[in-house]
Amino acid sequence: MIEVVTPDIAFMSRDKIASMHRLRHRVFKERLQWDVNSRNGMERDVFDLLNPIYLLAVTDSNEVEGAWRLLPTTGPYMLRNIFPELLDGQPVPSDPAIWETSRFAVDSLPVTTAGLRAVNRITRELFCGLVELSLVFGIREIVTVYDIRIGKLLERIGCRPYWRSSEHRIGNTTTVAGRFEISDQVLQTIRDIGGITGPVLHREQTLEYGHAA
C-alpha cells in the first residue's frame, strides 16, 4: 500500500521521510548522477522546505522503496522556478486545482524477472496512488518535469500527457515537461493495465481525506 504524508503529520513520519531522502540519494545522485544537493547519503532541495505532500511506497520494515513529491502550482515549484524554458512559451500554470509532481524515485532491484516485476508493481501503485489522492483533493491536473526514459514508462502504464514540451538537454538528461489530466477514467486505465483491482492508498487515510474534502 501507498502512504500519504501531508505537512500536518510529517513530524510523525520522520523516519520514513529520512528513508525517502536516502532513496532519492541512491536514485538521483548515485544511479542517475544528477547534479543534486546530497549530503550524508540524503538528497534534499529547497522544495522540500515548502510543506509538500509525499507519496511513499513503504516496506514491512518501514523502508521507503518508492516516492513522489507534490506541490501546488499556486506557490513556488520546479517547472516555474527552475525549468521555465520547458514551457516552450506557454503560460505558467498557477491554479489550486493544478499540482506539480517531482522527485519520482523507485528503488533499484537486481535485474531479474522478479526484480523487474517488483519495480513495475511499485511504479504502478505510486501512479494509482497519485490519481486516487488527486481525485479526493480535487486536483484536476498534474504538471511534471521528466526525462524521456520516464516518458517510455508512462506510455507502458497508460498515462499519457495531453500536452508535452519539446525536448531540452539539462545536464546529462534529455528532459520534457508534461501536463496530465486527472479523472476516474485515467485511474481505471492505469489499474486495468497494471492489474490493480482496488485502491492502493491506506483505507483510513482515504476516508479521512474524503471527509475533509
- Buried b / exposed e over 109-132, threshold 16 CB at 10 Å, is eeeeeeeeebbbbbbbbbbbbbbb
Give the per-residue pLDDT at 119. 63
List domains and CATH numbers for the chain. Answer: 2-203 (3.40.630.30)
Tell me if 122 sits within 8 A of 106, measured CB to CB: yes
Give the per-residue pLDDT at 109. 56
Helix or strand run (H / E) with residue 16: helix 14-24
Q: How do residues 156-177 score in pLDDT, each as one tens digit? A: 888 999 999 999 998 888 999 9
Give the per-residue pLDDT at 208. 53
pTM here?
Answer: 0.90
